[in-house]
Amino acid sequence: MTTMRIGTRASALATTQTGHVADRLRERGVDVEIVLISTEGDRSSAPLASLGGTGVFVSALRDALVDGRIDVAVHSLKDLPTTPDERLQLAAIPPREDSRDCLVARDGLTLGELPQGARVGTGSPRREAQLNALGLGVEVVPVRGNVDTRIGKVTSGELDGVLLARAGLVRLGRADEATEIIDPLQMLPAPGQGALACECRADDAATARLLAELDDRDTRAAVTAERSLLATLEAGCSAPVGALAEIAWGDDGDELWLRAVVSDPTGSPSIRLSATGLPDEAAAVGERLAAEMLAEGADTLVSVAS
């Protein structure tokens, strides 16, 4: 391979994320070219659920991979469908950035300081459900667009605040614009949030070997558990499901701790459970926790929101 062509969406965040991956490859002596790909999710301003939700930011990149226009696709892992694509392989999951959600609000306010009736923007059913569950009396306003667009609605006075993934602000060098980093005890992130996915063709062993050097074992175990839970719940990336797995030192070595929540859009009812296991059994931990949540009625909550 003379030059590795890396495909990415054209947004500032996507190209910045892909730039980090490209830099790591250049450090290893790989010549890299970044190729911009337009996706359905980028071309439409409609709510993601109306576009089909899962895969709207991914399909065009995957098609470019299969067609040979690019050699690697870099995705936000939370956008990646949980159903495997046999044409491709998930060759690397680099170290995860902060997985938490954050608030960007007027006057430096936190969620608890927002007045009754304050307008808070989000396009995520997961965030909407968990925000409503906090009982703060704020109005949730649907909003889509890139980081500039969403924060712009706050600076213009159209909204009092917006909820965003902190990882995006950190990668853009704008972390100081967050007025509150939200504790996962209040709002669990989307499965895979803060992590990147590097895909290549299933038969491209040379590219897979290069990408494997970027893979982070703990991040892969954590997101495997989260995505296994999501797949078992048969919920897409736009479903009101929050999940966060973390690797911690236990009595017998590394231990994986997975927390998850499924909520009605109104915030009530909700099901919040956790499970533990070994990092090497991450997929099984996710499946087991999802089965427990389904036994509590999670399928009803997912179907109501879809």
Rounded Cα distance, 51 and 54, in Å: 8
Phi then psi dihedrals of residue 145, to 5 deg: 125, 175
In DSSP notation, 94-111 reads PPP----EEEEEGGG--G
The single-letter DSSP state of residue 156 is T
Residue 79 designated active-site = yes
Q: Can you tell me which residue has the tokens 């500032």?
A: 12
Rounded Cα distance, 55 and 43, in Å: 14
Q: Can you tell me which residue has the tokens 């459900």?
A: 129
Phi then psi dihedrals of residue 284, to 5 deg: -65, -35
Rounded Cα distance, 247 and 221, in Å: 8
Among the listed residues 23, 63, 67, 79, the single catalytic one is 79
Show the beta-strand stretches assigned E in the chain: 4-8, 32-36, 72-76, 88-92, 101-105, 119-121, 139-141, 161-165, 180-181, 196-201, 241-250, 253-263, 270-277
- Residues annotated catalytic, as ranges: 79
